[in-house]
Amino acid sequence: MAEEVYDVIICGAGSGGGFLSGEVAPYGSVLILDAGPHLAGEANHGFGSPARRRAATQINLGNYHPDNPFFNRGNLFFSYPMYMIEANPINASIAREARVVGGGSFINVGAWIRPRSIDWPGFAEETGVEGWTKAEFEPHFQKAEQILHVHRDPRSVWNKASILYEQAAQSLGIPIYPVASNRFRCIYCGHRLNAGMPCKYDALMSTAITQVPKALSFGAEIVDNATVVRILIENNRAVGVTYTREREAITVRARKLVVLAAGAIGTPLIMRSSGLHLINDNVGRFLRAHPGVPLDVLLPGDDWNSDRGYQWNVSHYIHDENGEPIDVLAFASAAFPSNTPWVAASIGFFGKPYKDLMRRFRQRAGVFLFEKKPSRFGRVVGTVEGPEVFYPVVDKSGFLEPKMLNDFHISVRQANEIFRRMGAITTFPAADTPPAILNQLLTLFVTTTGAIHSQGTCRAGASPANSVCDTYGMVHGLDGLMCCDASVIPHHISSNPNSLIMALANRASEFVITQILGRAINPEFHVSLPQRPQSDEALAGGVAV
Ligand SMILES: Cc1cc2nc3c(=O)[nH]c(=O)nc-3n(C[C@H](O)[C@H](O)[C@H](O)COP(=O)(O)OP(=O)(O)OC[C@H]3O[C@@H](n4cnc5c(N)ncnc54)[C@H](O)[C@@H]3O)c2cc1C
């Protein structure tokens, strides 16, 4: 293996890298390296494979203390130390990033939300990037949506809590959007509620069971449990990588392209381990993520079925007192029991223990509130071997930065109103919580649970002065190196990121095929677009504002 040469080496087979691999593999030799395990086996939608079913029942996110034998530590995740409190720089939280072939797409909730119309102009405004427009990305979303079977479920399979949540919100004049999802032959077992493990029945259309198998069927090779630690650079060109596997360091070479797709934390770490931050100071900067706060409720009766069915069924943007949407996206219905910081810190809000708790407390429901546009950036520093993430959303006052705090106050009030209409007996946090206490609670939730959806750390832009790579992810000032994952997203988006990552990977794949490999695109190797395009408003719950 040490001397082998490939046209393209893809480091990380998650949403971005996995998607790219399937589109590019028909045109050249491709090596896929991933730090996590490959739970192989033919996709069997509705049933699952033995390896994936085993993983789905045995693994959870694990605890912050990775070497503590008393906790059921998951092994499908990196737990990067993340420093969120400017007032207490010693106190570390965690950023949980997938570590498995399929990456985040393999263990996420499967909520498919496109960016809102208002997000698109922000990309060029922030970094001068060209081509990041709604119109240019439209066919790429459509293609990804076809491959991944993106659709909306009928209300007949929703849980009761979601149906009544929708009615209550609409009665308050809040526009509600059924959440689209990338699943196929889902049996509504409730498993997606507890993201953080693979779908037991292969319904979640991750790259692990779609694009990666496609790449392998075209001759791509995959090495799992292979942690890329360095990029090999010769004459200002990336010509390969070194990875470690079972304590052995192995170097492989790329004739045409090295693709970094290790996620918004993993990709800048590989670049920093290779010294590229010394050439471009923007490597690792401009980290953004989405801190989330759950609001839990106790409802009368015990037939709310929050543990069953696809979660989350409905989404909406929280509206302020003027009826204007703010930057908080709410997902219902399910939240309990992550609201207890102890529980959140111990099991995360995902995994089997979470589902078990949901099943024991059947009178509970809730909503997740995601802040989509915090006003603070973070930064990834350190190396692959010694990662550190700074994301100081709690400022020197010891509380969440004012914009986020304000947004969450409005959100708690509105979600309370909706649940009260549904007849909630108690809500937590309650709307009448004294502001000082609420500030404390919100700050505690965010800093114990961390933030997911990290992005922007090798962002695309017009020049190295404000970005790391160009519109297609090609790294400024160095030949043969591309980034293709959440790290390239140039600016805030008010959606969950998976759909955009798949779309940008498809767009990048066309660049690789035509510009790097010098081949013409052969429609036989790709899905054709649907006759009748589905708009983002129709599919993704995006608000046309
Ligand atoms: C629990 C959870 C639930 C989520 N739910 C949703 C949702 O419902 N909807 C949504 O839109 N988004 C969701 N997300 C976010 C979404 O899944 C991620 O943003 C997305 O998958 C990131 O894609 P990526 O390609 O950037 O990175 P990833 O998909 O994380 O892929 C990175 C890959 O690189 C590998 N890797 C890392 N470091 C190295 C290295 N040094 N060498 C080799 N390989 C390496 C990892 O093993 C991984 O396979 C969720 C995320 C989490 C964690």
Give the Å distance between the CA of 499 and the centre of ligand 1: 12
Tell me the residue range of the domain where 436 lies: 5-540
Q: Which of 21, 94, 231, 453 to mutate to test the pocket of ligand 1 (most atoms within 8 A of CB)?
A: 453
Distance, CA of 319 to CA of 47 (rounded, Å)? 40
Report residue 177 as tokens. Answer: 């959007």
Q: What is the pairing mode between strands 387-394 and 426-428?
A: unpaired
Query: Cβ(415) to ligand 1 under 6 A?
Result: no
* Side-chain-side CA neighbours of residue 406 (13 Å): 10
Report residue 336 as tokens. Answer: 């309990």
In a domain, 386, yes or no: yes
Give the Å distance between the CA of 439 and the centre of ligand 1: 30
In a domain, 331, yes or no: yes
> Is-cis flag, bond preceding 337, omega within 30?
yes
Output the pLDDT for position 326.
96
Distance, CA of 195 to CA of 186 (rounded, Å)? 14
Domain tally, the chain: 1
User: Hey, is 469 helix, strand or coil?
Assistant: strand
Report residue 497 as tokens. Answer: 């990121």
Q: Where are the beta strands (DSSP E) in 183-337?
A: 221-223, 227-234, 237-245, 248-260, 288-298, 314-319, 325-332
In a domain, 127, yes or no: yes
> Is-cis flag, bond preceding 333, omega within 30?
yes
For the chain, give the longest Cα–Cα distance. 69
Distance, CA of 178 to CA of 318 (rounded, Å)? 15
In a domain, 424, yes or no: yes
Q: CB 123: neighbour CB atoms within 10 A? A: 24
Q: What does the DSSP 8-state code read for residue 386?
A: S
Q: Where are the beta strands (DSSP E) in 304-432?
A: 314-319, 325-332, 364-371, 379-382, 387-394, 426-428
pLDDT 10s digits, 185-215: 988 877 666 566 788 899 999 999 999 999 9
Output the pLDDT for position 96.
83
In a domain, 545, yes or no: no
| Phi, psi (deg, nearest 5) at residue 467 | -155, 180
User: Hey, is 97 helix, strand or coil?
Assistant: strand
Low-confidence ranges of the chain (pLDDT < 70): 1-3, 57-74, 191-196, 307, 309, 335-357, 530-545
Q: Which sign, positive or negative, has the C-alpha torsion 9, 14, 449, 391? A: positive
In a domain, 51, yes or no: yes
Output the pLDDT for position 352.
60
Distance, CA of 351 to CA of 63 (rounded, Å)? 11
DSSP-derived secondary structure for 496-544: -SHHHHHHHHHHHHHHIIIIIS-----GGGSPPPPSSPPPHHHHH----
Report residue 113 as tokens. Answer: 């939300």
Contact 468, 260 (CB under 8 A): no
Query: Cβ(264) to ligand 1 under 6 A?
Result: yes
In a domain, 11, yes or no: yes
Give the Å distance between the CA of 263 and the centre of ligand 1: 6
pTM of the model: 0.94
Give the Å distance between the CA of 98 and the centre of ligand 1: 5
**For the chain, how far is it from start to end, CA to CA, in angstroms?**
52
State the CATH number of the domain containing residue 440.
3.50.50.60
Taking the CA of residue 384 as reference, the ligand 1 atom at the shortest distance is: 41
Report residue 338 as tokens. Answer: 């992550």
